[in-house]
Amino acid sequence: MASTAPASAAGSAFVTVTAKVSIAIGVVATLYAAVQVIAAWVLLGQLDTDAVLGFLAMQPIPWPVLWVLTHLTTITVAFLAICIAFLMVSVGLLCRRTWGWWGFVLFMVAGAAVNFAGIAAIDATFSWVQALPSQPELDQAKAELATLHMLTLATLWVSALVFAFLHGLVVWQLCRRDVRAEFGMIRTSR
């Protein structure tokens, strides 16, 4: 008679709590993303996009910013899809499905990586604003913006490192033998 290794109480509690918290976050994020999609459709439907894009084409705007501005609805729909996928893998994790385990681990690793990518995007945005043509009435604001730039980058680096550490701990816990056994990933010999 083949037997599977009994899951430890600590492993079961860790997976259950992690999944339930993630489901709550997933529900809130999905509702938030749905509101963003609705807002994008309503607001962009009332906006003369040709006039805005014509104005923006005359400005020294970096192409990534222009791309984001021209794809706002697509970005909000993609964010909604990501939130729904996170909610689904969280439910899969709670139900001890292997695909839920793999999806959740993927979300943890990708989430940590996206935090670091966000640092580059914010840094580029600040650099772009600082490179705008000088105007005497804005010189004081630019000096304050340079300080804000450094503080923002420091805060982003600290938070990205903290989240990478926390996500790493979650992945490490999920990769423990007793936890993987809950998902049928460990086969025991007879």
Q: Cα–Cα distance between 23 and 107 in angstroms, integer?
A: 13
Tens digits of pLDDT across the chain (190 residues): 333 445 555 568 999 999 999 999 999 999 999 999 999 888 877 776 667 667 666 767 777 777 877 788 899 999 999 999 999 999 999 999 999 999 999 999 999 999 999 999 899 888 877 777 777 777 777 788 888 999 999 999 999 999 999 999 999 999 999 999 999 888 765 5
The whole-number pLDDT of residue 56 equals: 65
The whole-number pLDDT of residue 189 equals: 57
Q: What residue type is 190 in one-letter code?
A: R
The whole-number pLDDT of residue 5 equals: 44
Domain boundaries, the chain: 9-182
Q: Is-above-0.85 flag for pTM?
A: no
Alpha helices per DSSP H over the chain: 9-45, 49-57, 63-70, 72-94, 98-130, 139-174, 177-182
Q: Cα–Cα distance between 44 and 22 in angstroms, integer?
A: 32
The whole-number pLDDT of residue 27 equals: 97
Shortest CA distance to 87 belongs to which of 104, 99, 110, 111?
104
Q: Cα–Cα distance between 91 and 104 in angstroms, integer?
A: 10
